[in-house]
Amino acid sequence: MKVGVLALQGDVRLHTDVLNSLGIKPTNVTIGAQIDELSHLIIPGGESTTISKLLSSGHIFDKLQQRLEDRSISIFGTCAGLILLAKEVLDGRDDQKSFGVLDVSVRRNAFGRQIESDLKEVVLNSINVIEPAFIRAPRIERVGKDVETIGRLKESDEPVLVRQGKILAATFHPELCVSQDCNIVHKIFLEIAEES
């Protein structure tokens, strides 16, 4: 298992810290050539338009698109990462590219502006409850028939963590969490990767 964290912009260090706590030493991915070495990749939160542009200028976008299309890599997108994986971005910008491999429709910043960021309770697999951060979070407005909802907001039952094959995506930041078992979402990602 060779795990990478896309290290172009966003919350790279905290994802790396969670992986280290699970006994995994990840690679910080900054160039396209590193994509070929990976079995798993996390696209962290940040600003989706900026990450999209940096993916292209760093020659990563096309390499990762090919790996996603042939299903030879497991990927976990959080917040901006979810937007980059989504098939439909309802309020996307014209200059923003998406991989379009996750059959969901998302709306950027739907939980409000930065000042409205908050911790919210999320129920995972109808069992575990965690309390991660929602920071200018996207909202999943449509879930395709082949997409499984793994996590829902406790207050409204809306989907916030979904899976389609080797793709896992969250509207929230699982690396910013006040629950006791804050690394549970990363564990789910690594288990999915082994199953697929």
The domain ranges of the chain are: 3-195
Q: 155 and 91 in contact (C-beta within 8 Å)?
A: no
Q: Which of 15, 40, 175, 182 is catalytic?
A: 175
Residue spans of alpha helices (H) in 58-124: 61-69, 80-85
Residue 113 predicted with pLDDT over 80: no
Q: Please indicate, yes or no, whether the overall pTM of this predicted structure exceeds 0.95.
A: no
Residue 29: C-alpha distances to residues 32, 37, 70, 129 (Å): 8, 10, 20, 31
One CATH from 3.30.930.10, 3.40.50.880, 3.30.460.10, 3.30.428.10 for 3-195: 3.40.50.880
Residue 26 has which token pair? 């990840």
DSSP strand pairing (139-143 vs 122-124): unpaired
Q: Which of 40, 79, 177, 182 is catalytic?
A: 79
175 noted as active-site residue: yes
173 noted as active-site residue: yes
Once rounded to an integer, what is the mean pLDDT over residues 144-173?
96
Band the pLDDT of 195: cuts 50, 70, 90: low
Spatial separation of the C-alpha atoms in residues 49 and 52, rounded to whole Å: 5
